[in-house]
Amino acid sequence: MPAESVNSAPTPAPLDRERDRPHPLQIELYRRATPTQKLAAVARLNATLLKLKETSLESQFPHLSSVERRALLRHWWLTAHD
């Protein structure tokens, strides 16, 4: 693992509860979804999250090899830190 920290990203803006609230239709669709559909949605969100973090790591640590960046990504994912 490289000496750089995965946690060196700037602190995100505070959560805006009103702006970030799901649309009522989104809530209703989620309530009606089957467990399989809910798991598929979570899988899509996880894939998107991992790609965004991977892109962020590429930007933060351009000198690292793809193997080293993937190791940072795994560490970040498994320790649930950002």
For residue 15, what pLDDT is reported?
74
SS (H, E, C) 11-77: CCCCCCCCCCCCCHHHHHHHHHCCHHHHHHHHHHHHHHHHHHHHHHHHHHCCCCCHHHHHHHHHHHH
For residue 18, what pLDDT is reported?
79
For residue 62, what pLDDT is reported?
94
Listed residue (55, 79, 69) closest to 4, CA to CA: 69
Q: What is the pLDDT of residues 22-81, one digit of tens each?
A: 899 999 999 999 999 999 999 999 999 999 999 999 999 999 999 999 999 999 999 976
Cα distance between residue 81 and residue 72, in whole Å: 11
